[in-house]
Structure 1
Amino acid sequence: MNDTKKFWNLFKRHRDKELSAAEKEKERALQTQLGKLARNGIAFDFDKGKVLPRQSKFGGRPTLPTSWQWPRYTNEYGEERLLPFLLQINCEELAPCDTDNLLPHEGMFYLFYDLADQPWLNSPGAQLLYTPTPAAELTPTEYPDGLADTQRLHEMGLKFSNYPSIPDWDDYNSLLGGDDNASNYTDWDIIEPQLESWGYPAVESDGRLLGYARLIQNGIAELCESRARGDKPESYSPESAREWILLLQLDSVDEAEVEVPFGDCGSLYFYIRQSDLKRRDFSHIQFEMQCY
């Protein structure tokens, strides 16, 4: 009996060593895989110090090209609305964080959004615009008369930092074959607890550019590709959806001076095809809003 017990104890120790070695090898392989998927992301946070007219900022009055009209749109009820101004991003300030040189390093991005209706599904009530005009040539612009005081938002500066960005579960699953690859589920169960030790800590920020979105619901890239192809399944493929990347995400604003909840603690997302970004063509940006 003692010999039998000894045998099984030895067998168990040997098996546990083999399992441990196999598990460690699997972890190493997944860490390498995740490193290949990682992208440079740029986080931004609000800065409540003094704000200059041409710097990156939230709220206040935008600094626009002299030829531009204040953005407006016609909502689903046929009402024409002026769009509240949310963000301007001076591209010169992004250059130190844009390590892959994906973004323009001159000019300005602007975000305008209908805060009353809070539209989603690629509505023209959300407009992310770009001008290549150098910041020094832009003009501080007064609010139009028809814009309500409640939609003239408190001004805060933005400060930028970059970080290694990795996909959330939905993007990870999509990038690696979706539901056709059943191992994605078990692999993610291994990956998720290791993220911080592998050098991918959770990044808390007020918004972000590039990298991967911090999703609240499902992945957005496939939705963008489906819409771009007229929602025709026969012309769509998961591979083509990978062309779409995050350009900008702005989360709900909850500050002492200003609160802007997008739905129920939601976020605004703007995606662009990589080929369009490379050409500096910002005319096909797609928009989505997600909330809890």
Structure 2
Amino acid sequence: MSIKEKLESLGRNSIQLKIARKETYKLGATRFGGKPDVPPDFVWPTYEGESYDHVVKDRPLTFLAQFNCAELAQFDKEHLLPDHGLLSFFYETDTQCWGYDPKDQGCARVYWFEDMSALSAADFPADMEEDFKFPMVKIKMDSKYSYPSWEDFSEVFPDEEDDDAFDEAWEELTGEAPEDPEDRSQLLGWPDVIQNSMFDECDLVSQGYRLGNPENWNRIPKDIRQQAEETARDRWMLLFQLDTVEQGDFELMFGDCGHIYFYITKEDLAARRFDRIWLVLQCC
């Protein structure tokens, strides 16, 4: 097969997300920011971590976005997500953990509120700083076929070495250049990789192995690492990818023009075990 044919064979549906405009509140609607809609017994999640100014404390997670699953259904061509309820994403945006340390567990949370009848807007925690209360913004959604970045493609086809031919094939299939940094927020599909493929990273860190440098990678038993390299990309998948968000005077950026990625195993997604996601941050 040609590189284009190989790339085409890996295509997956994704739900493209575009930040549209300021939104007015509507209970249970898909949106970025604002106050999350939650059930009466909801306890706002917190995470104890070290911020960039080296302050260690327990902080409330930032509410990022919520998705009305009934609204998503028409764009979820492979029927992977729930078709009802509300899917809500949180991340601690002060510490901005990278996800290469098992201690990062809990820095991001996903909730599926299956019964929407008792939801109401939550009040922000009293100790939440104003910088982490994001404005409410409308999200426009559309289905879009996605293809792997070179970093993931070369893991599937390790004999392919011509990344220029890959870029050309990718542009033919998508109509845009692989390095185009615009509008890369999405649900499902292939991640827009900035640094390295993340499937085996999610697999290993979630097993308790600390990564982040070559020395830590080399400490992992060879059989464990080999198993992750051979099987992780078939078991793990992207759930949600969030790019830089800009709206008026507001800007949310992860590192230097980075993304955050919420990964989940296919088994956990099918079982609706959203408490078992793993988060990774990558940036330029």
Instruction: Please indicate the TM-score interval, normalised by the length of the shorter structure.
Output: 0.7 to 0.9
Aligned to 1:13: none
Q: Which shows bigger deviation, 154-163 or 51-60?
A: 51-60
* TM-score normalised per structure 1: 0.82
The answer as to 2:217 corresponding to 1:226 is: no
Q: Which has the higher contact order (CA 8 A, sep 6+)?
A: 2
* CA displacement, residues 39-93 of structure 1 (integer Å, 9 cap, x when unaligned): 0011101121543231111111110121111111222465111122111111111
* CA displacement, residues 125-174 of structure 1 (integer Å, 9 cap, x when unaligned): 53231224233431111112111122211110111111110000000011
Aligned to 1:36: 9
Aligned to 1:8: none
Percent of matched pairs sharing the same residue: 31
In the alignment, the residues of structure 1 paired with residue 207 and residue 105 of structure 2 have an alpha-carbon distance, to the nearest angstrom, of 18
In the alignment, the residues of structure 1 paired with residue 11 and residue 67 of structure 2 have an alpha-carbon distance, to the nearest angstrom, of 24
The residue type equivalent to 2:93 in the other structure is L
Equivalent residue in structure 1 for 2:192, among 206, 214, 217: 214
**1:206–1:30 CA distance, 2 compared to 1 (3 A):** closer
Aligned to 2:244: 252
The residue type equivalent to 2:18 in the other structure is D
* CA displacement, residues 216-235 of structure 1 (integer Å, 9 cap, x when unaligned): 11111111122234434322
Aligned to 1:86: 64
Aligned to 1:261: 253
The residue type equivalent to 2:167 in the other structure is E
Equivalent residue in structure 2 for 1:151, among 132, 151, 156: 132
Aligned to 1:58: 32
Equivalent residue in structure 1 for 2:232, among 241, 247, 250: 241
The within-5 A match list for 1:1-292 is 29-51=2-24, 52-76=26-50, 79-121=57-99, 123-124=104-105, 126-176=107-157, 178=158, 181=159, 184-186=160-162, 188-199=163-174, 201=176, 204-205=182-183, 207-231=185-209, 232=220, 233-236=222-225, 237=227, 238-242=229-233, 243-292=235-284
The residue type equivalent to 1:190 in the other structure is A
- What is the Cα deviation at residue 239 of structure 1? 2.3
Tell me if the contact between 2:3 and 2:169 (Cα under 8 Å) persists in the aligned partners.
no
Paired residues, number = 259
In the alignment, the residues of structure 1 paired with residue 109 and residue 252 of structure 2 have an alpha-carbon distance, to the nearest angstrom, of 17
**1:121–1:95 CA distance, 2 compared to 1 (3 A):** same
- What is the Cα deviation at residue 254 of structure 1? 2.6
- What is the Cα deviation at residue 38 of structure 1? 0.6
- What is the Cα deviation at residue 253 of structure 1? 1.8
* TM-score normalised per structure 2: 0.84
Of structures 1 and 2, the larger Rg is shown by 1
The residue type equivalent to 1:249 in the other structure is Q
- What is the Cα deviation at residue 124 of structure 1? 3.7
In the alignment, the residues of structure 2 paired with residue 31 and residue 264 of structure 1 have an alpha-carbon distance, to the nearest angstrom, of 31
Structure 1: segments with no counterpart, 5+ residues: 1-25
In the alignment, the residues of structure 1 paired with residue 99 and residue 174 of structure 2 have an alpha-carbon distance, to the nearest angstrom, of 34
**1:168–1:212 CA distance, 2 compared to 1 (3 A):** same
Tell me if the contact between 1:244 and 1:272 (Cα under 8 Å) persists in the aligned partners.
yes
In the alignment, the residues of structure 1 paired with residue 133 and residue 273 of structure 2 have an alpha-carbon distance, to the nearest angstrom, of 29
In the alignment, the residues of structure 2 paired with residue 133 and residue 153 of structure 1 have an alpha-carbon distance, to the nearest angstrom, of 24
In the alignment, the residues of structure 2 paired with residue 87 and residue 119 of structure 1 have an alpha-carbon distance, to the nearest angstrom, of 18
Tell me if the contact between 1:64 and 1:139 (Cα under 8 Å) persists in the aligned partners.
yes
Higher helix fraction (1 or 2): 1
Tell me if the contact between 1:213 and 1:246 (Cα under 8 Å) persists in the aligned partners.
yes
- Where does structure 1 differ by over 6 angstroms across 4 or more consecutive aligned residues? none
Structure 2: segments with no counterpart, 5+ residues: 210-219
Give the root-mean-square deviation of aligned CA atoms.
2.1
